[in-house]
Structure 1
Amino acid sequence: MTKLVINADDFGYSKGVNLGIIEAFNFGVVTSTTMMTNMPGAEHAAALAKDNPGLGVGIHLVVDCGSPVNDDVPSLIDETGSFHNVEGLVQFAEVADIEKEFTSQIEKFLSFGLNPTHIDSHHHVHGHERIYPIMEKIAQNYQLPIRKVSDDPKHTSNSRLQTVQCFLHEFYGNELTSRSLIHLLDKVLSYETAELMCHPAFIDEPLLTGSSYALQRVRELAILTDKEVRDAIVDRKIKLVTYKEATKQSNAF
């Protein structure tokens, strides 16, 4: 039986995103989410997480959206105090500042009184060759699983960091349907553990004006709460789990 984590990214981005994720958890197939602790909706997300203890909540580390948590990371920000975009991040960011900011975001998450299930990153920046070693170090320090970054079975993220075996990022874009999601479900059946990324949300002003991927999230929410999708998961004997259940977390790696 395949254990599948369906993780909703961007928890904490805004109230609309937060409420959409909770909707997809309570009435759909989402089992897990990762929080952006640097965004305006973080405290609202933390309160919702406490009200929905069955939802696995990890940390969505961010260095290219919004502003930093740490007030002493000069290489990460532009003249307005906001993070650089991805291109600027690669050009200007210093490794020490990235580590400092990631650590501050984790500590902020812990200050909410929540226990993180795992860590990943906004726009998958932890897959970058300069950033991955930082992510690996932090994952080991906090003893947290990390979202898979490579299909290479020899990659350290697949052996030391309690990741799942398969990561699916394809549930994203303008052409999503319930059938396309069900097709992705068939791809995980050859694995013991897998993660599928998604971005459900209700639209609010911060999301509509701040993200290039906004209206599509409403469609994702409709699909993730579609009975046809739920039935397909049951028919395939897929077990929906959190990262804690998928990786059998212990006190040490």
Structure 2
Amino acid sequence: MNDAAPPRRIWLCADDYGISPGVNHAIRDLIGRGRLNATSVMVVGPTIGRDEASALQTLAADSPRCAIGLHVTLTAPFRPLTMHYQPLDGGMFPSFPKLLRAGLLRRLDPEIIHAELRVQLATFGELFGRAPDFVDGHQHAQLFPQIRDAFLMAVKEAAPNAWVRQGGRRQPLARRLHSPKALVLDTLSAQFRRRASRADIAFNPGFAGAYDFSRQADFGALMRQFLDGLPEHGVIMCHPGLVDEVLVSLDPLTDQREREYAFLGGEHFLPLLAANKVTLG
């Protein structure tokens, strides 16, 4: 690597703002300390309202180039904002596996999906007084068949200047085979990128952050892998947070959030960025 080359600027994006008080607190703390430069907001979450939105917006305004996006949500245990949404499972969105299967079998109604996405985009606008800087998806639902076209259409209509998140990373096949989750994201993202390009919608050139949440992984070691080869303006997805009762009731990703929060707020993170010639500023 050329030591004289300027540092690569990447997006380090904390997902799920709005899912719980502990997650909201952790994300705002890291933004305020310059340890994050993007977060995506779950407008169907139980702890997003005008106060939480205002606190985030005020903090982001004081942080150089901090982006706030919409975290489109279409999976359980969350509920749709539109009436007559289908399919439902006990009044909630379907689970991640059911939604992906329905999309692959082309059993979804893109018009119903599109209507829900337009309402989520409008809700973001009501909370923040503007369109999102970018739009991504909870559990990568924006990449699923049938959903991706409705997603891109809604973004084009309601947030034409926003960029969207794809989950692919250009790596040798042998390396990708070691991470089945990343390989699935690569496959789904290839179609997503082609459709986004045809719609003239910008997207991130690279992505990292997927790992096996069921294991107690060393997040510092993972971050070194995520940074390796990530291009300028690439996105690293992360999920920092503090565990509280609301989070436990909604999401299995708990202790891992605290490990991510501890590393991103700790003494080793900024030197790791510097060693890899990466900046968030």
Question: Aligning the two structures, in what range does the TM-score lie when normalised by the shorter sequence?
Answer: 0.7 to 0.9
1:207 to 240, 247, 262: 247
Could you tell me how far 1:207 is from its partner in structure 2? Answer: 0.5
- Pair 1:9 & 2:15 matched: yes
Q: Return the structure number with greater relative CO, CA threshold 8 A, min gap 6.
A: 1
Counterpart of 2:56 (choices 37, 40, 49) is: 49
Q: Secondary structure at the match of 1:187?
A: coil
Tell me, in whole angstroms, the C-alpha distance in 2 between the residues paired with 1:60 and 1:194: 17
Match of 2:165 among 122, 147, 150: 147
Q: Deviations over 1:58-77 (max 9, x none)?
A: 0000111311111231x132
Contact 2:17 2:41 in 1 (8 A): yes
User: After alignment, is 195-204 or 94-103 more displaced?
Assistant: 94-103
Maintained 8 Å contact 1:28/1:226 = no
Which of 194, 217, 227 aligns to 2:257? It is 217
Letter in 2 for 1:48: A
Please state whether the residue corresponding to 2:19 is helix, strand or coil.
Answer: coil
Q: Which residue number corresponds to residue 109 of structure 1?
A: 124
Share of identical aligned residues, percent?
A: 22
Residue 180 of structure 1 aligns with which residue? Answer: 222
Deviation at 1:186, TM superposition (A): 2.3
Structure 1 position 72 matched with structure 2 position 104: no
Please tell me the residue identity of whatever aligns with 2:38. S
- The equivalent position to 2:39 in structure 1, one of 33, 40, 43, is 33
Change beyond 3 A, Cα 1:172–1:187: farther
1:131 aligned to 136, 141, 147, which one?
147
Q: Which moved more, 1:26-35 or 1:10-19?
A: 26-35
Unpaired runs of 5+ residues, structure 1, are 242-253
Aligned to 1:233: 273
| Separation in structure 2 between the aligned mates of residue 28 and residue 76 of structure 1, nearest angstrom | 40
1: CA distance, partners of 2:57 / 2:206: 29
Contact 2:12–2:238 (CA<8 Å) still a contact in 1? yes
CA RMSD of aligned residues (A): 2.1
Q: 1:229 to 1:158 in 2, by over 3 A?
A: farther
Alignment of 1:91-106 (within 5 A): 91=102, 93-106=108-121
C-alpha displacement of 1:119: 0.3
Residue 235 of structure 1 and its aligned partner are, at CA, apart by 3.2
Which segment is superposed worse, 52-61 or 156-165? 156-165
3-state SS of paired residue (1:111): helix
TM-score (norm 1): 0.85
- Equivalent residues, number: 237
**What residue number does 1:157 align with?**
196
For structure 2, the 5+ residue unaligned runs are 1-6, 170-189
Distance 1:115 1:227, change over 3 A: farther
Contact preservation (8 Å) 2:79, 2:91: yes
One-letter code aligned to 1:202: L
